Amino acid sequence: GQYLATGECGHNPKVRIWDLTGDRKSCIELGDHKFAIDSVCFSPKVDRLVSIGSLHDGNIYVWNWRNKKKLTSNRCLGSIHRVAFAEDGSYFVTVGIRHVKFWYSVAKSTSGVVPLRGHDVILGESRNNHFIDVVCGRKNCTGLTYVLTANGLICQFDENRKLRADKKFQEKTNCLAISDSYLVVGCDKGVVYILSSEILENIMSVPLPHCLGIDINFIGSIDQMTYPQKQNISFPNTIAVCLDENKSLLTCFYNDHSFYIWNIRNGREIEKRDCYMYHSACIWGIETYSIRSTSPATFNRLSFITCSADNTVRFWSLDHNETRSNFASLPVENVLNRHLMKIIYLDEDYSKLCDNPTTQ
């Protein structure tokens, strides 16, 4: 987590790398792409960086970014959505529309940029899929690669690029994350699966997030977030997942701009550690107000109200220790978000709450 890399859009875009332990004002710039940069990825040892150009750019570059030197390059005529390095850094894998390819660097040359060799995966019946994410195995699963399709299929390939196993999900799948032991799959409707990275068996399922339009005033425990008696509720889609194995934390991001941090330490029961529910569109207005207390021992607490293009009005607290007892109409402590006190929804279908998918 020491370095941050970004890729720009537009003509003659730059790759920029920041050292987050430094002043965060200066950065290293790399530039040779002609059009937008879709993906950037560090190698495991953080000594190299791969940058993937957009469909119109069509270039793949591998950099010694500290020296601002291009090491290898090649052209790719298809649209690439994701890239991931193998644990030993000997190759990386790209995925896209009908595209899964392993890329290998040839021996180093002192004469300049050397070619990047690409080899397609043997996809068989899966060759016409839209592949949207990729991760590479670690520890006991070194040499294995996992790719995800938009229609709910996850495929496991060995180091010879042959299909080793696959698994089909009922939900539309969106994202992957991997650790030494777990493989996490994020799906539509708030569903998140935790699988064994070796055999793709389901180990545990992450609890669903809040439903769209939830009245957070009446949620006093995670158990109250299930509504089996209602058939018309909907949930935000899971669009990104991130594993922190050192702290046994799983972070799930949803397309209503909320995210949950789950504790998966014991491997069987999952506990919510934190939750943040933000506006999902631009904020049009903000007003502050003070909650006055009749108790002389309690200071007046400053809070604020925001309204947004997502058709919600939200009440926020600036005091981390503030209790909801200051709002007479709020019956229970909100377990979802300690900073968010109340949400008023201005439309009944909640159509503005979630981001719609975009196409490249």
The DSSP line for 128-145 is TSBEEEEEE--GGGTT-E
Domain boundary among 224, 249, 277: 277
Q: What is the rounded average pLDDT of the residues 113-141?
A: 89
Integer Cα distance of 177 and 85 in angstroms: 13
User: Both 31 and 134 in a single domain?
Assistant: yes
Q: Check whether residue 144 and residue 232 sit in a common domain.
A: yes
CATH number at residue 25: 2.130.10.10
C-alpha to C-alpha distance for 92 and 87, rounded to whole angstroms: 9
151 plus 71 within the same structural domain: yes
Q: 305 and 273 in one domain?
A: no
pLDDT bucket at 360, cuts 50 / 70 / 90: very low
Q: For residues 360 and 358, what is the distance between their CA atoms, to the nearest angstrom? A: 7
pLDDT in tens, 5-47: 999 998 999 999 999 988 877 899 998 999 999 999 999 999 9
Please state whether beta strands 69-75 and 114-120 pair in parallel, antiparallel, or not at all (unpaired): parallel
**Dist. CA 91–CA 84, nearest whole Å:** 9
| Strand arrangement, sheet containing 340-345 | 283-291, 301-308, 312-317, 340-345
Give the pLDDT confidence score for residue 245 in this predicted structure: 86
Asked whether residue 351 is assigned to any structural domain, the reply reads no
Angle at 340 between CA 233 and CA 289, to 5 degrees: 130
Q: Check whether residue 123 and residue 90 sit in a common domain.
A: yes
Q: Do 190 and 119 sit in the same domain of this protein? A: yes
Residue 56 lies in domain: 3-277
Q: List the single range of 138-152, 214-228, 234-248, 343-357 with lowest mean pLDDT.
A: 214-228
Question: What is the spatial distance between Cα 220 and Cα 292, in angstroms, rounded to a whole number?
Answer: 24
97 part of a folded domain = yes
Q: Report the number of distinct structural domains present in the chain.
A: 2
What token pair was written down for 107?
Answer: 């021996």
Confirm if 135 and 175 have CB atoms less than 8 A apart. Answer: no
Give CA–CA dist 82/360, Å, rounded: 13
Per-residue pLDDT at 231: 63
Q: What is the pTM of this model?
A: 0.87
In a domain, 357, yes or no: no
Instruction: Report the amino acid identity of residue 244.
Output: D
For 294, list phi and psi in degrees, rounded to 5.
-80, -10
> Is position 350 within any domain?
no
Dump pLDDT digits (tens) for 54-98.
999 999 999 999 999 999 999 988 889 999 999 999 999 999 999
Say if residue 100 is in the same domain as residue 241: yes
* Statement to judge: residues 194 and 331 lie in one domain: no
The pLDDT score that the predictor gives to residue 230 is 57
Residue after which a domain boundary falls, among 254, 277, 300: 277
Nearest to 255 by CA among 352, 140, 119, 149: 352
* Coil, helix or strand at residue 124: helix
- Shared-domain flag, residues 37 and 183: yes
Which of the four pLDDT bands, split at 50, 70 and 90, describes residue 324? Answer: very low
Q: Are residues 325 and 222 in the same domain?
A: no
HSE toward the beta carbon, residue 65, CA cutoff 13 A:
28
Indicate the DSSP class of residue 350.
-
Residues 78 and 132 in one domain: yes
Q: Please indicate, yes or no, if residue 331 is contained in any of the structural domains.
A: yes
Computed on alpha carbons and rounded to an integer, the radius of gyration of the chain in Å comes to 23
| DSSP sequence for 229-257 | T-SS---PPEEEEEEETTTTEEEEEETTS
Degrees, nearest 5: CA angle 232-236-240: 155
Q: Are residues 99 and 236 in the same domain?
A: yes
Sign of CA dihedral 334, 233, 278, 149: positive
pLDDT at 359: 46
d(CA 332, CA 323): 10
Report yes or no on 102 lying in a domain: yes
Q: Is residue 204 part of a domain?
A: yes
| Residue pLDDT, tens place only, 194-246 | 999 999 999 988 999 999 998 887 665 555 555 555 567 899 999 999 999 88
**Residue 13, domain member (yes or no):** yes
Residue 268 three-state SS: coil
Give the whole-number percent of the chain exceeding pLDDT 90: 62
> What pLDDT score was predicted for residue 150?
93
Q: pLDDT at position 289, please?
A: 77
